[in-house]
Amino acid sequence: METKLLSLTCIRGAGAGDGYCRGLSPRPHYPSMPKYPKGVLESNMEPTEARVLFSVTGMTCPACAGSVEKAVKRLQGIREAVVDVLNNQARVMFFPSYVDEETIRETIESVGFKATLIVKETDEKSSQVCRILVKGMTCTSCSSTVESTLKAIHGVQRAQVALATEEAEVHYDPLVVSHDQFMEIIKGIGFEAIMISTGADMSKINLQIDGPWNDFPVSMIKESLQALLGVEKVDIDTNLRKCSISYKADLTGPRTFIQVIESTGSGSSGPFKAKIFPKGRGRDSHRQEEINQYRRSFMWSLVFAIPVFLTSMVLMYIPGLKHLLDSKIVNMMTVGQLVRWILSTPVQFFIGRRFYTGSYKSLRHGSANMDVLIALGTNAAYFYSVYSVLRAAVSLHFEATDFFETSAMLISFILLGKYLEVMAKGKTSEAIAKLMDLTPDTAILLTFDSQGYAVMEEEIDSRLIQKNDVIKILPGAKVASDGFVTWGQSHVNESMITGEARPVGKKKGDPVIGGTVNENGVLHIKATRVGSESALSQIVQLVESAQMAKAPVQKFADRISRFFVPLVIIFSLSTWLAWFVAGKLGGYPKSWIPSSMDSFQLALQFGISVMVIACPCALGLATPTAVMVGTGVGASQGVLIKGGHALESAHKVDCIVFDKTGTLTAGRPLVVNTRLLKNMVLREFFELIAAAEAVIHNKEIIVGNKSLMLKKGIAISLDAEEILTEVEDLAQTGILVCIDSQLTGVVVISDPLKPGASEVISILRSMKVKSIMVTGDNWGTANSIAKVVGIDDVIAEANPEDKAEKVKALQLGWAVLNIIWLVETFPSITYGPLAMVGDGINDSPALVAADVGMAIGAGTDIAIEAADIVLMKSNLEDVITAIDLSRKTFTRIRLNYMWALGYNLLGIPIAAGVLFPFTRFRLPPWIAGVAMAASSVSVVCCSLLLKYYKRPRILETLEIHGIATE
């Protein structure tokens, strides 16, 4: 076994560490980029990937798991195989066109273990995900109502609703419930629901059909499309002349649909023409539509509110106009009162009807939101004014005082605040918009003849690309789809996806990522993953899911929102009652009452001000807006953070466990020295090593470590011992070579440290973050490498399951059974949240066990899926970026909560008149409304400042360069 390893190391530059082998110059592995079995790249068909999970009984140690894994991987068409000895399971990813699950099962049993198929993971119909845009939510009370309603539906496995994005993400069993039912239920509780995507719509396209629309040809078109292999669902909207098609991208595509539609209408019914449905009905368009609605409502409210304000606050001080406005119409009712009544009515009931609608929907389901406060406050001002004016109209002595300006201006300023808030919230997801804009609008499709020569080029909409299409990429153009190069050589700038600035060389057979930029040379690429299956789309989906996920600290705002509005209403009524009773009982001098009011009207103003200044929205937006901006900024920095939970955990991390091979080191072991102990030609020495475990020229070759030599009965000379000690002190590994039972030489291999590894450890130490190294390598090499990078605590010779157990032990601290091991090994350790940084399959259990798992982006799919944070550039300094960004994000969250809570705790008492007895200062209701609107906008703007996040300045001064290998 050892000789096989060395022969690979010497000839190919490959090596092993921590149970994971890599080549000399591996290409980076990016999320969602497929691996192919031998021969697939040259074929014309892209195989479909499948996954199965087996229960494997009889395994007792990692060696058993290794034998199963190797046996399965030898099969043709295996993409990946992972064997978990702890849980006695084997998960296999494979291509069904090359191998089936029965063959895999028989292969496992041929090794000597019992294998049982648990689940065939290609059938995902037992669990699907849909995303729904929920319009009409104003605060956390609304989002909590929608979320709890969805969770209560039978068949829903998980549901979460984000106020900031106005979206609901529902995981459900489609055999029990359908996504259409979610739409109806959300509408039933008073909100507008618009479907964004469903699990069945991973590949979906909307086509616009022009032609003679009537029942017969439309039904023909639908039947023709449904007859196509791979088409799952066809919906036709006759009003919009839109056809929505859900399909399997492996089997068909949009150009086929267009051909079918246009050929279906070629008879007597007349020709049909089909094209991609114009953009403009997606989530961004709905956001823009909402912005436009608030802007229009605000502008219309100003048309009425400004004259109301002028007649009540300004024109009354101009002598001629004052006389006109004070002119009596009926008894004591004046012209000014009637004008204000007429002008404020459209604002109250038409422009402000959204607040009535929102209040009704909220109260109907036993909750109260911000709309309730606004509706109560404005109605109190409006209807009291109506009562006062009508009483003046029927009285010869009663002089009315109206608050119509309070009603009109309050609604106007709240609409202004909502307009600014929606605009600001739209900017929190700019990172996603920039990612989505990376895909080019058009692509050059190549057509080939039977000899394989390109005979035609056609520019098409990039959304019309189908699997196995060959696309021509010109210099300076963006790559239109994920795929692999079939012809040409060039360099591709992948920084917009991976964050890695250095262009990557591409030649025939190399993978490319959609959205990256071809810098020089013409490339022909075969599309393998299109639409929502592409790496870019999956990164966008990951960031979107991260922005949907609630941070644990959000529970604080959710708890407050349950009783916030009812308490405010109670406090508002108490304020009005206290001032009113105090006025009637002479509790304060009559001189305190303004000349235009009485005690009832003064008390009413205080009560209304309390009601409208309270803002539950600011509390609800404090966390999600910061998480949205933080995860978006992280994506632009090459750090993918999977949600608020990962952000919250990362900012408290005070201990990081680093894997060695591929994480602290480059993961590319190289032969760095050769020491001969016998006289022989060096070339012959290498030829014999290359043919290890075979008898060459009648010579028996044994290559391995000291344990193997002793096992074979070969004496280790003093010179060899000294060499081994010397190379271990240099953080290198010595491999002994024996020819014909005589120790002949030592081959020294080294896995170089990643650039900046020691600097990163030093910076982490300055951030009060402790570093520990864990590796499957020997103690001598592990201690030497740890000494070079500056790590004091080392765990060596650790199997994959050992890594996970040690991580758990470190997490539990004094409460674990191996307390003696902890105390003796790490006497100075602090037991806070712990992070694990790794890249290999064998790191996955530890990544899952840690509070925060960080996967190096060039690592395996399994490691990336298990991690909470993915470092796409594979640079160690991004560990610092991830921790620093999480700390900055949670600083913003704390500031947001301080502002939201402080605003309410200070604003409500001031609005209630606490300062009035001492300063005669009172807060008019319309100014209280301005303050309420400003609080939400301030919270969102505070979160938006994260957009200007910069990495710690010390990272910019590091001289970190790539590793050159020959």
Number of C-beta neighbours around residue 314 at 10 A: 11
For residues 138 and 10, what is the distance between their CA atoms, to the nearest angstrom? 65
What is the Cα–Cα distance from 759 to 521, expressed in whole angstroms? 38
- Which residues lie across from 138 on neighbouring strands? none
Cα(417)–Cα(294) distance, integer angstroms: 9
Dihedral (CA of 29, 32, 38, 41) sign = negative
Distance (Å) of CA 899 to CA 207, 571, 628, 685, 894: 48, 21, 19, 73, 9
DSSP per-residue string spanning 646-712: HHHHHTT--EEEEEIIIIIB-S--EEEEEEESS---HHHHHHHHHTTTS-BTTB-EEEE-HHHHHHT
Amino acid at 459: E
Q: Give the Cα separation of 116 and 106 in Å (integer).
A: 10
**CA angle centred on 406, ends 404 and 407, rounded to 5°:** 65
In whole angstroms, what is the distance from residue 12 CA to residue 24 CA? Answer: 6
Residue type, 300: W
Helix (H) or strand (E) holding 229: none
Angle of the 925-944 helix axis to the 404-427 helix axis, nearest 10: 0
Q: Give alpha helix (H) positions in 529-615.
A: 535-548, 554-584, 599-613
Distances (CA, A) of 590 to 584, 587, 744: 10, 9, 110
**Residues identified as active-site:** 659
Pairing of strands 834-838, 655-659: parallel
Contact 443, 478 (CB under 8 A): no
**AA identity, residue 287:** R
Burial class of 74 by CB neighbour count within 10 A (0 to 12, 13 to 18, 19+): exposed
Residue with tokens 């402790």, as numbered in its chain: 770
CB-count exposure of residue 899 (10 Å: 0-12, 13-18, 19+):
middle
- Give the C-alpha separation, 534 to 202, whole Å: 11
CA 690 to chain centre: 47
Q: Residues 741, 746, 752, CA angle at the centre, nearest 5°? A: 150
Distance of CA 464 to the CA centre of its chain: 27
- 750: part of which helix (H) or strand (E)? strand 742-750
Helix (H) or strand (E) holding 835: strand 834-838
DSSP code at position 768: T
Residues in the chain: 966
Q: Which residue type occupies 148?
A: S
Amino acid, res. 524: H
479 half-sphere exposure, CB direction, 13 A CA radius? 36
**How many Å apart are CA 525 and CA 489, to the nearest integer?**
11
Q: Any bridge partners for residue 208, and if so which?
A: 242, 275
Name the token pair of 94. 């494979």
Amino acid identity at 120: K
- Residue 142 host element (H or E): helix 140-151
Exposure pattern of 573-584 as b/e (b: 16+ CB <10 Å)? eebbebbbeebe
Both tokens of 564, joined, read 């916030």
